[in-house]
């Protein structure tokens, strides 16, 4: 089994990690840690030890297995030099936190800089501005406001507690966590503390600011927040109640005071843009992978795990306690061996990693167009696709909430808002587990098109009606991905579908798990693996036109895609790409855009049709009629979107070309 991952800024992360490792080694040699520990014989007395253990066990640190050997390190981090030099112990016996603070300062800046680079598409000046959250006064405010308990644990002598003392101790503590637990744990802690602060700088994420703006625009009256703190002192929960014109609008809770207000702003009033947590990796440079050949649990787990590790590990994409929507390709639920849906082994592997990371996970999708989005259909689809068993085995939840909400997206190129199924709106993060398949209309379906499943079932045909050109449809899908910004993409290309997908094709082994943060980058590599030109795929072309990706610059890490390519992968019968020559492209453009005569026509295979009516419901132009348990198609109305072909599980819709179409197809090769 092979796996390929796509990643941004791996080199810079690697280089920075190496640099930190060098600093760490130098500090060790210099006596910060290790053999110099005997200089610090006294500090962690029983009470002090208990105090530090309690502090570090609480969120956001979550370090519950503190060893005796590591205790002096943390004790030192919270010891100011005034205590070391003038305390009750001889100065030579107590080491202060200045060297740890030096290290922690760089670790903190590195983690936040890496996060800013990876999660936001910002110019250097703006990234630098946001990095200012680590400056002393701001840092001290954050420590105090979040009730981290550091201020009361700092040992000092004869000095008032200043911002500088608090900030230095905090940085030293981060340095200690880095030395004791490594960079990944330090990153988790830092992002848990700072993520909201950084996001607050983002006007799109500034929920309170947007709510204020909305209330002012609509002249709704006075906007007021009422805050209340609950929970233990070292783990406070802030509840915010917001009123507009004296009328209660709603409540929200968060770990920080600011977050409580944001929670309300995000989930309640929903001003301009839906408030979906955005964490898009901006670049297009991909990265590596690991291997896959069948769907054995160990094999798939190892490939998925390796793939995600190669791009930074799960901690880079989600934080513990976040609510994650795991979004597979459910379509209408088919047996896994038919390769229509994401294989349950891959869904389970990602679910286990998320659960292991401390996330709450819900599996959710809206079945294919033409399927009524209700609990009965969901239950049936989950069972057939094998996800019911996944939920039982991994303790994740299957979504049965069939509600949906309007999510505004004013920045959209072709869509300013979407109807989105509720679990996606409610989630903190979306992780996509897509299936690699051919597609009669969009040529290929993988990462970017997967998100079309966030549109509730019977609303999907409207999009097919509105975006009848596949490239226009691709622009809409890019808007949808940019709006909802899934954080992580994992693609099941172990057994892909070739031929007339996404429903009626044939399984074909590719043997790869792909992972990455950018849907267009992951799709680009899939296209290359199966011998398609990436720029012929509507979503990739649209992303490239917007400057979101340069397919030629997509970089992979892990196994070499050239070794994994399947050049004879069977394309859909509607596919006309792959050839060379400008004349051919011109003819293609004309025929594809204007040529109903060229495009294959759908026709009903009479004896196979059971009259279920799904094709009638899905057809965006009402070209299908089912009478006496048999479907018929009015070709004069048909726009060749092939939704009926996609939805028919009986393989009762066949596609064929007329004489002119056949001649053109032969001409075009």
By CB under 6 A, name the binding residues for ligand SF4: 602, 604, 609-615, 618-619, 621, 623-624, 626, 631, 633, 638-644, 647-648, 650, 652-653
The nearer residue to ligand SF4, 459 or 650, going by C-beta atoms, is: 650
* Distance of closest approach, residue 415 Cβ to ligand SF4, in angstroms: 21
The nearer residue to ligand SF4, 485 or 617, going by C-beta atoms, is: 617
* Distance of closest approach, residue 527 Cβ to ligand SF4, in angstroms: 24
Burial of 368 (0-12, 13-18, 19+ CB in 10 A): buried
Are the beta carbons of 370 and 617 closer than 8 angstroms? yes
* Distance of closest approach, residue 620 Cβ to ligand SF4, in angstroms: 6
The nearer residue to ligand SF4, 55 or 652, going by C-beta atoms, is: 652
* Distance of closest approach, residue 333 Cβ to ligand SF4, in angstroms: 15
Cα–Cα distance measured from residue 423 to residue 326, given in angstroms and rounded to the nearest whole number: 10
The angle formed by the CA atoms of residues 8, 172 and 197, to the nearest 5 degrees, is 50
Measuring CA to CA, which residue among 528, 517, 563, 520 is closest to residue 10?
517
Where helices occur in 30-97 by DSSP H, the ranges are 46-57, 71-77, 81-86
Distances (CA, A) of 51 to 56, 146, 155, 185, 343: 9, 18, 12, 21, 48
What DSSP character marks residue 546?
T
* Distance of closest approach, residue 626 Cβ to ligand SF4, in angstroms: 5
* Distance of closest approach, residue 638 Cβ to ligand SF4, in angstroms: 3
Give the list of residues 6+ apart from residue 432 with CB closer than 8 angstroms, or none. Answer: 327, 447, 450, 451, 486, 488, 489, 490, 519
The nearer residue to ligand SF4, 69 or 608, going by C-beta atoms, is: 608
* Distance of closest approach, residue 440 Cβ to ligand SF4, in angstroms: 9
* Distance of closest approach, residue 634 Cβ to ligand SF4, in angstroms: 8
How many residues are there in the chain? 669
DSSP letters, 103-132, are HHHHHHHHHHHHHHHHH----HHHHHHHGG
Task: For residue 451, give the H/E element and its range.
Answer: none
Measuring CA to CA, which residue among 505, 369, 371 is closest to residue 435?
505
The nearer residue to ligand SF4, 14 or 651, going by C-beta atoms, is: 651
Residues pairing with 257 in the sheet: none
The nearer residue to ligand SF4, 98 or 650, going by C-beta atoms, is: 650
Cα–Cα distance measured from residue 142 to residue 155, given in angstroms and rounded to the nearest whole number: 20
The nearer residue to ligand SF4, 407 or 623, going by C-beta atoms, is: 623
Q: What is the four-CA torsion angle of 627, 631, 635, 639, rounded to 10 degrees?
A: 110
Distances (CA, A) of 567 to 2, 367, 497, 518, 577: 17, 31, 14, 24, 13
The crossing angle, in degrees rounded to 10, of helices 183-200 and 136-145 is 100
Cα–Cα distance measured from residue 475 to residue 539, given in angstroms and rounded to the nearest whole number: 6
The nearer residue to ligand SF4, 563 or 628, going by C-beta atoms, is: 628
* Distance of closest approach, residue 461 Cβ to ligand SF4, in angstroms: 8
Q: Which two tokens stand for residue 530?
A: 């199966």
* Distance of closest approach, residue 645 Cβ to ligand SF4, in angstroms: 7
The nearer residue to ligand SF4, 396 or 653, going by C-beta atoms, is: 653
The nearer residue to ligand SF4, 63 or 644, going by C-beta atoms, is: 644
The nearer residue to ligand SF4, 455 or 653, going by C-beta atoms, is: 653
The nearer residue to ligand SF4, 57 or 621, going by C-beta atoms, is: 621
The owner of tokens 């840690």 is 33
| Count of helices and strands (H, E) across the chain | 26, 18
Burial of 213 (0-12, 13-18, 19+ CB in 10 A): middle
The nearer residue to ligand SF4, 543 or 655, going by C-beta atoms, is: 655
Are the beta carbons of 349 and 305 closer than 8 angstroms? yes
The nearer residue to ligand SF4, 384 or 485, going by C-beta atoms, is: 384
The nearer residue to ligand SF4, 226 or 335, going by C-beta atoms, is: 335
* Distance of closest approach, residue 479 Cβ to ligand SF4, in angstroms: 22
* Distance of closest approach, residue 596 Cβ to ligand SF4, in angstroms: 10
The nearer residue to ligand SF4, 55 or 648, going by C-beta atoms, is: 648
Report the 3 state secondary structure along 638-665. Answer: CCCCCHHHHHCCCCCEEEECCHHHHHHH
CA-based radius of gyration for the chain: 28
Measuring CA to CA, which residue among 124, 184, 403, 399 is closest to residue 309?
184
* Distance of closest approach, residue 475 Cβ to ligand SF4, in angstroms: 19
Instruction: For the beta carbon of residue 504, count every other beta carbon within 10 angstroms.
Output: 22
* Distance of closest approach, residue 600 Cβ to ligand SF4, in angstroms: 9
* Distance of closest approach, residue 464 Cβ to ligand SF4, in angstroms: 7
State the sign of the Cα–Cα–Cα–Cα dihedral 165, 169, 175, 178. Answer: negative
Phi, psi of 600, rounded to the nearest 5 degrees: -55, 145
* Distance of closest approach, residue 643 Cβ to ligand SF4, in angstroms: 4
């Amino acid at each position: 089994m092979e796996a390929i991952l796509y990643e941004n800024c791996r080199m810079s992360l690697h280089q920075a990690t190496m640099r930190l490792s060098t600093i760490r080694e130098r500090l060790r040699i210099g006596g910060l840690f290790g053999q110099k520990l005997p200089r610090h014989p006294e500090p962690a007395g029983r009470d002090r030890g208990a105090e530090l253990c309690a502090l570090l066990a609480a969120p956001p640190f979550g370090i519950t297995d503190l060893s005796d050997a590591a205790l002096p390190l943390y004790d030192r981090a919270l010891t100011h030099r005034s205590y070391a030099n003038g305390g009750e112990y001889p100065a030579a016996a107590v080491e202060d936190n200045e060297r740890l603070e030096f290290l922690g300062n760089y670790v903190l800046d590195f983690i936040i800089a890496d996060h800013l680079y990876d999660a936001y598409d910002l110019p250097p000046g703006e990234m630098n501005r946001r990095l200012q959250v680590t400056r002393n006064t701001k840092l001290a405010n954050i420590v105090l406001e979040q009730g981290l308990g550091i201020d009361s644990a700092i040992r000092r002598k004869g000095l008032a507690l200043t911002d500088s003392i608090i900030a230095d101790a905090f940085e030293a503590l981060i340095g200690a966590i880095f030395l004791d637990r490594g960079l990944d744990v330090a990153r988790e802690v830092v992002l848990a503390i700072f993520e909201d602060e950084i996001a607050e700088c983002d006007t799109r994420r500034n929920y309170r600011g947007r709510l204020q703006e909305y209330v002012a625009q609509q002249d709704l009256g006075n906007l007021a927040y009422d805050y209340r703190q609950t929970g233990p002192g070292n783990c406070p929960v802030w509840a915010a109640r917001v009123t507009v014109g004296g009328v209660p609008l709603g409540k929200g809770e968060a770990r920080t005071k600011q977050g409580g207000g944001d929670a309300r702003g995000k989930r309640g009033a929903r001003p301009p843009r839906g408030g979906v947590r955005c964490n898009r990796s901006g670049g297009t440079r991909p990265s590596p992978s690991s291997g896959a050949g069948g769907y054995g649990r160990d094999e798939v787990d190892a490939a998925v795990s390796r793939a995600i590790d190669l791009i930074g590990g799960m901690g880079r994409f989600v934080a513990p306690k976040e609510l994650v929507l795991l979004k597979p390709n459910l379509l209408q639920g088919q047996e896994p061996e038919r390769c229509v849906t994401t294989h349950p082994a891959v869904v389970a592997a990602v679910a286990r990693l998320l659960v292991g990371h401390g996330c709450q996970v819900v599996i959710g999708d809206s079945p294919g167009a033409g399927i009524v989005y209700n609990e009965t259909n969901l239950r049936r689809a989950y069972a057939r696709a094998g996800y019911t068993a996944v939920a039982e085995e991994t303790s994740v939840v299957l979504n049965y909430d069939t509600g949906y909400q309007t999510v505004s997206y004013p920045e959209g190129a072709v869509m300013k808002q979407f109807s989105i199924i509720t679990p996606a709106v409610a989630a903190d993060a979306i992780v996509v587990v897509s299936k690699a398949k051919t597609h009669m209309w969009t040529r290929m379906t993988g990462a970017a098109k997967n998100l079309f499943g966030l549109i509730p079932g019977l609303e999907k045909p409207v999009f097919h009606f509105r975006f009848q050109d596949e490239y226009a449809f691709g622009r809409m899908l890019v808007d949808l991905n940019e709006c909802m910004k899934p954080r992580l993409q994992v693609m099941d290309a172990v057994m892909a579908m070739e031929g007339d997908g996404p429903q009626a094709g044939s399984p074909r082994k590719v043997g790869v798990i792909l992972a990455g943060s950018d849907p267009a980058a992951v799709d680009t590599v899939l296209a290359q693996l199966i011998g398609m030109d990436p720029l012929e795929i509507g979503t990739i072309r649209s992303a490239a036109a917007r400057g979101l990706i340069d397919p030629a610059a997509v970089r992979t890490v892990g196994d070499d895609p050239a070794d994994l390519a399947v050049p004879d992968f069977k394309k859909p019968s509607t596919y006309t790409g792959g050839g060379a020559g400008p004349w051919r492209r011109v003819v293609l453009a004309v025929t594809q855009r204007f040529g109903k005569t060229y495009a294959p026509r759908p026709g009903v295979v009479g004896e196979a049709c059971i009259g279920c009516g799904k094709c009638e419901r899905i057809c965006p132009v009402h070209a299908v009629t089912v009478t006496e348990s048999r479907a018929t198609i009015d070709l004069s109305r048909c726009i060749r979107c092939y939704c009926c072909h996609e939805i028919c599980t009986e393989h009762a819709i066949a596609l064929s070309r007329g004489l002119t179409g056949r001649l053109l197809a032969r001409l075009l090769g």
